[in-house]
Structure 1
Amino acid sequence: MKTLMYLILMLSHFSIVSNQSNNTNEILKEIEDFLYVKPSRSLLLLDKVKNSLSSEQMFHWHLLLVRAAVPTNQLDKLNKSIAVLIHEKNHPDFKENLPTILSALGIWLRKKSYYYEADISLKCALKYANTKKQTMMLINSRALVLWNSGNIKEAKALYIQVSKIAKEINNINYQSVVNNNLGLIAIEADELTLAKQFFKKALDNYQAIAKRSGEVTAAGNLLFIFVLLDELVNFQRLYPRIERMTAGYPNKSKKSFLFWTYIGFKAKNNEKITTEELDKLTKTFHQLGTYRVKATVIKHLSPLFGLSFALEAQPKKVPFNQDWFKLVQSCQW
């Protein structure tokens, strides 16, 4: 009798554990489903489920966090999870996900201005890419690294490669990515009408595939161009919807850029700019993101408000010296 009761209790325990594991796996699947349309939702769910994971599930938790942190610009979370994943190089699913991990690392390094190390990471990722889509994504990231390091000619050549692959595999998302980035390059060359054409193509495609993060990015850039070209009616038509979308998006740099753009519209429209708004411009300047975005804002928007900002000189970077990065440099997995 005691043996029977023990078996019943053990079976009950295993059933509970199994149900908990199945429920957690279902949540992880839901998190993955949200990555494409609403990565901010994925981040919220990841926080909720973290304490109920097995050691096996934690690898996939960090992998999902990396994939959600990239489009939402959560750099601190991204860095920590990448380090964890690299240290899990013996995990059975590591090799399969290596291009994703190294891609995220390349993005993090680029955003921290470690351009040399970012390119090393992305080249290594390309070595292990096993689909045209992965290859396309990684070449795009390399183009962005080269552009940020000042190699515009090679960056454009890589974007042409990305566009070609995107059309071959009918990937509308990356056709949009290329158009958006070429628009940014056009702004720097003061080719504003060309930039508008690129951003409109990017926005149309992002809307067609319902990718909110891309829509927020491309539309924000297009609104900026509308202000610079004095297309204020076009700005008024697009702004309300994008303002609502951006408000629900956990990316301070995009929110700050949109606020600066909106105040730029007010200045061009001869509307009164309040003291509070001017103060907020000053306070949000440091949230604009990269050195390049800040320089663009200083050049095109600051004069409209009579504000001036001195960009700090970009410090010379010491080599990225995390011990685990040696594994990336050797690229032998």
Structure 2
Amino acid sequence: MTISRFVLTLFLSTFISPAFAEKAVQNDEYRINEAAYFLNSNPRKASLLLKKIDPVKLKTDELIIEYHHLSILASLLLHEEQASEPSFALLFSMVESKSFQDKRFNILYNLGVWLRRGGYYSQSESALLCALRSANNAADKMKTLNSLGGIARHYGKNIQAQDYFQRTLEQAKKVENSKAIAISNNNLGVMAFEFNQIEKANGFFKVAYRNFQISQYESGELNSGINLLFTFALLEDHDMYNRALPRVKELVDKYNSDAKNAYFAWVNAFSEVQLSGYKHTTVQRGVLKQKFESIDEAGLQRLLQKYIAKPLEIEVALLPKKALGTKSLSIEARPWLKKAIECNF
């Protein structure tokens, strides 16, 4: 009886193993598709679905590359960047695959984002320039040029940054993307600030603010709204400042970001001096100085020091030079990264 039962079990396992294997492949493919579906609406769920898959058991290049690409996207959306490097290393070991080439632009662009978030600005620029060579449509060119403009501004290369942002706007208009048009105009307004062109900056910020409202992108509306208040105060336009203030204040309270709160506090304090002749107390100036330190964007710190610090009678220290410097990931230990940033594939 025992022997016959053993033979029957062996027979059944031999017979159904291929079916189980096929089902496992289908389950993995289903989970990958499901993760792609939830990626933007629920990146945490997408990440959990991907973690149920053993990537070593994936059978095709297409599934392997899609799995690692989605893993990178999920980690970027969740700000869990440390999880991305193994997936990048795997992807760049498969550059000859058609599936890699199909996603070449997106992989390179996301590498640029990953490197920038880590503070590796020079390597990020190299990855983005490589991505730009692979961009086949206006939307891809638009977001890459915008990212390159941000890196140039980080280094204070204002003419180069302005050129990148102008080229971004041209691409945004081609695809009639209100959000992208808003972002481009906002960035061009900031560059006009850098060149002391306040009325021109005001015009860019008005267009940006309107298009952010059209696209219902409140985070952008908040940023361009504070920028707009800044120009109204500089232009001593009391009526327009008061007209725009309630909505911007509503968004500041809603999003409650330390950096945005600090920027708004500085602009509003400046408006009190510029439009009403108010003189802040020593305690109030001390609070503003403390808030300044929570602004981690070097370019914004420079603008506040340039236009507002003196009227507020506040001495501030900008981010140290080393914060503008560039760190580099070791390419000797990462041949995949050397390949990517040299764009030799």
* 8 Å contact from structure 1 (residues 203, 215) kept in 2: yes
Kindly provide the CA deviation profile for residues 115-157 of structure 1, in whole angstroms up to 9, marking residues without a partner as x.
Answer: 5433321111112223231122212322333344344334333
- In the alignment, the residues of structure 1 paired with residue 224 and residue 181 of structure 2 have an alpha-carbon distance, to the nearest angstrom, of 12
Whole-angstrom CA distance in 1 between matches of 2:50 and 2:329: 29
Task: Measure, in 1, the Cα distance between the counterparts of 2:271 and 2:52.
Answer: 48
Q: Hey, what does 1:37 align to over in structure 2?
A: none
| CA deviation map 1:8-62 (0-9, x unaligned) | 9xx99x9999889867854652332x4xxxxxxx566567767555546464132
CA contact (8 A) 1:110 1:118 kept: yes
Deviation at 1:103, TM superposition (A): 2.5
Aligned partner of 2:245 in structure 1 is 236
* Alpha-carbon separation, structure 2, partners of 1:135 and 1:22: 32
For residues 227 and 317 of structure 1, do their structure 2 counterparts lie closer, same or farther at Cα, with a shift above 3 Å needed? same
Is 1:144 equivalent to 2:150 in the alignment? Answer: yes
Q: How many equivalent residue pairs?
A: 315
Listed one character per residue, the Cα deviations across residues 284-323 of structure 1 (whole Å, up to 9, x for unaligned) are 3333122221111222233344321122541384662432
Report SS of the residue matched to 1:307: coil
Distance 1:87 1:213, change over 3 A: farther
Give 1:61's match in structure 2, choosing from 71, 92, 96. Answer: 71
Q: Distance in 2 between matches of 1:83 and 1:266?
A: 52
Range with bigger deviation, 169-178 or 99-108? 99-108
| Conservation of the 8 A alpha-carbon contact between 1:173 and 1:206 | yes
Contact 1:176 1:206 in 2 (8 A): yes
1:213 maps to a residue whose letter is S
Q: Find the aligned partners of 1:65 and 1:121 in 2 and give their Cα distance.
A: 18
Residue 94 (structure 2) pairs with residue 102 (structure 1): no
Name which one, 1 or 2, has greater alpha-carbon Rg: 2
Q: C-alpha distance in 2, partners of 1:26/1:174? A: 28
Q: Is the 8 A contact 2:198 2:231 kept in 1?
A: yes
Is residue 88 from structure 1 mapped to residue 88 from structure 2 by the alignment?
A: no
- SS of 2:39's equivalent in the other structure is helix
CA contact (8 A) 2:202 2:228 kept: yes
* 1:68-87 per-position Cα deviation (integer Å, ceiling 9, x unaligned): 36xxxx5xx34652564244
Query: Separation in 2 of the partners of 1:168 and 1:332?
Result: 30
Does 2:302 align with 1:295? yes
Task: Please say which of residues 234-243 and 44-53 is displaced more in the overlay.
Answer: 44-53
Taking a change above 3 Å as real, the CA distance of residues 113 and 299 of structure 1, as seen in their structure-2 partners, is: farther
Contiguous gaps of at least 5 residues in structure 2: 56-63
* Corresponding residue number in structure 1 for 2:330: 322
Write out per-residue CA displacement over residues 259-285 of structure 1, whole angstroms, 9 at most, x where no aligned residue.
Answer: 433444455556786887655534433
Q: Deviations 1:192-243 (Å, cap 9, x if unpaired)?
A: 1211110111121122122233223322322332333343313423323322
Q: Is 1:163 aligned with 2:169?
A: yes
Alpha-carbon contact 1:216-1:242 (below 8 Å) kept: yes
Go from structure 1 to structure 2 and tell me whether the alpha carbon gap of 1:187 and 1:83 turns closer, same or farther (over 3 Å shift). Answer: farther
In 2, distance between residues paired with 1:44 and 1:262?
Answer: 38
Q: What letter matches 1:184 in structure 2?
A: V
Q: Using structure 1 for the length normalisation, give the TM-score.
A: 0.73
Superposition CA RMSD, Å: 4.2
1:218 is aligned to 224
- Matching residue of 1:29: 37
Correspondent of 1:286 among 285, 289, 293: 293
Identity, % of aligned pairs? 22
Q: Report the more deviating stretch, 193-202 or 121-130.
A: 121-130
- Residue identity in the other structure for 2:242: V
TM-score of the superposed pair, with normalisation by structure 2: 0.71
Q: Secondary structure at the match of 2:296?
A: coil
